[in-house]
Amino acid sequence: MSNHQKFFINGEWVDPVIPATLDVINPATEEAYTQISVGSKGDVDKAVAAAKAAFETFSRTTQAERLALLKRILEVYNERFEDIAQAVSDEMGAPLSFARDAQAWAGRAHMESTIAALENYEFSHQRGKTMVVKEPIGVCALITPWNWPLNQIVCKVAPAIAAGCTVVLKPSEIAPISGIVFAEVMEAAGVPKGVFNLVNGTGPDVGQVMSGHPDVDMVSFTGSTRAGIIVAKTAADTVKRVAQELGGKSANIILPDADLETAVTKGVEGCFGNTGQSCDAPTRMLVPADRHDEALDIARKAAEPFKVGDPKSEDTVLGPVVSQLQFDKVQRLIESGIKEGATVVTGGLGRPEGLNRGYYIRPTVFGHVTPEMTIAREEIFGPVLSIISYKDEEDAIRIANDTVYGLAAYIQSGDIAHARKVASRMRAGSVYLNYPDWDTNSSFGGYKQSGNGREYADFGIHDFLEIKSVVGYES
């Protein structure tokens, strides 16, 4: 029997306090394929009460007990791996290969990284006569986005449990089914009652209630900067910790000593991954002014083979964007690029040829973009790349840092020492040199309006801990 219209609270699947449902739309067909229940204050109160009661016991579990629990969760996650991938493909339109190899894989990889981090984590150390102890912060409200659902769910749930916290999770109501499957994983793994709770719903009706709840000790939020500001303001009245991973407009500096063909080609691939729906995507490509036209030609050749279409087709590379709202936003921003004088190298307005339904976007590359253009400043969240010229290295660094965001930056150079030097100048939480592999043991989070706090591995565990000093411990 489906749990789509139930919440997972205190170890049981329960009906909402006030019955209300919401259609879940498959973005490839624009049709509803299931419904979820949406919660209200009463559901949040029940979930928080369960988490608060469970915290009394779970916070006193040993490191070894929590490690064993995470390993059981990982085992069940792997058993449900295909169900998770299918759910992501249906709810957000990810091609099945990408849903398996990136989306579902990310949840597995972060669980593995958290387990490895917990195995060696030190929760106390002595400093002179003082014992410094790291203790679980308490009940944690976790609000996750639709674009990397398993990545963000696991990046919050796993370290919270590793720290000894209890949680209430609200997945995105746009892509909620993978979160429900994850809750089934937690149930099957034998997570103690009240340690993990799930309430579906909208930001105003559930997310904000969680953020302002007096019995919630911490909010961990991933989403837009606009929504993050609302969460922070709501949480301020109860002076709780707020960790946020927000928007981005990441620069990709291709230095003169880089191989232009390789750097531009991989830059296009990086921008278009996940149909451009990644907060850290390299969406602003900075190239030497005297090679701008050459870069445009390379980018066009790299972009045009991208196959857009049915997520269930094996040869599809890019699926649709997630919703009508997102489709309209991307179209509006493409139109602004055209009106403001950027050159459409490939792509542009409308759906790709042959697709008359589904929220499909033409993979688009803009050239001759200037830093003040809307497409160079606003987060687009679609397969749209802006190529910008720079005069010299100082100009490139200035343009790269000239943004309210600071989530990621990318540096391409034939000289790694040169790349490191430029990386030291970037005002961003993550800097990627020469397109490295994804590292789930690194830290992830942003500067400026890209948020605060850090996720991944031991960095994530640290964010869910309070520090207590027992002074005079050694008398």
Residues annotated as catalytic (active site), given as ranges: 245, 279
Listed residue (114, 227, 90) closest to 170, CA to CA:
227
What pLDDT is attached to residue 199? 98
Any idea where the domains of the chain sit in the sequence? Answer: 7-246+450-471, 251-440
pLDDT digit string, tens, across residues 233-283? 999 999 999 999 999 999 999 999 999 999 999 999 999 999 999 999 999
**Mean pLDDT (whole number) for 221-238:** 96
Give the pLDDT confidence score for residue 1 in this predicted structure.
57
Q: What are phi and psi of 124, to 5 degrees?
A: -155, 150
Condensed to tens digits (0 to 9), the pLDDT of residues 29-71 reads: 999 999 999 999 999 999 999 999 999 999 999 999 999 999 9
Q: Indicate the fold that domain 251-440 takes in CATH.
A: Aldehyde Dehydrogenase; Chain A, domain 2 (3.40.309)
Which residues, 6+ apart, have CB-to-CB distance to 194 below 8 Å?
10, 11, 50, 51, 53, 54, 55, 58, 166
For 341, the 3-state DSSP assignment is: coil
Q: What is the pTM assigned to this prediction?
A: 0.97
> Looking at this protein, which amino acid is placed at residue 242?
V
425-454 confidence digits (pLDDT tens): 999 999 999 999 999 999 999 999 999 999
C-alpha angle with apex 387: 383 to 392, nearest 5 degrees? 150
Predicted pLDDT of residue 475 = 78
Token pair recorded at residue 324: 């009508």
How far is CA 57 from its chain centroid?
A: 31
Q: Which CATH number fits domain 7-246+450-471: 3.10.20.90, 3.40.50.300, 2.70.150.10, 3.40.605.10?
A: 3.40.605.10
Mean pLDDT score of the chain = 98
pLDDT at residue 242, rounded to an integer: 98
With 0-12 / 13-18 / 19 or more C-beta atoms within 10 angstroms meaning exposed / middle / buried, residue 31 is exposed
Label each residue of 101-152 as H, E or C: HHHHHHHHHHHHHHHHHHHCCCCEEEECCEEEEEEECCEEEEECCCCCHHHH
Convert the pLDDT of each residue in 165-218 to its tens digit.
999 999 999 999 999 999 999 999 999 999 999 999 999 999 999 999 999 999
User: pLDDT digit string (tens) for 296-347?
Assistant: 999 999 999 999 999 999 999 999 999 999 999 999 999 999 999 999 999 9
Q: Is 368 helix (H, G, I), strand (E, B) or coil?
A: strand
Residue pair 224/446 in contact by the 8 Å Cβ criterion: no
| Residue 351, token pair as written in the block | 């759906």
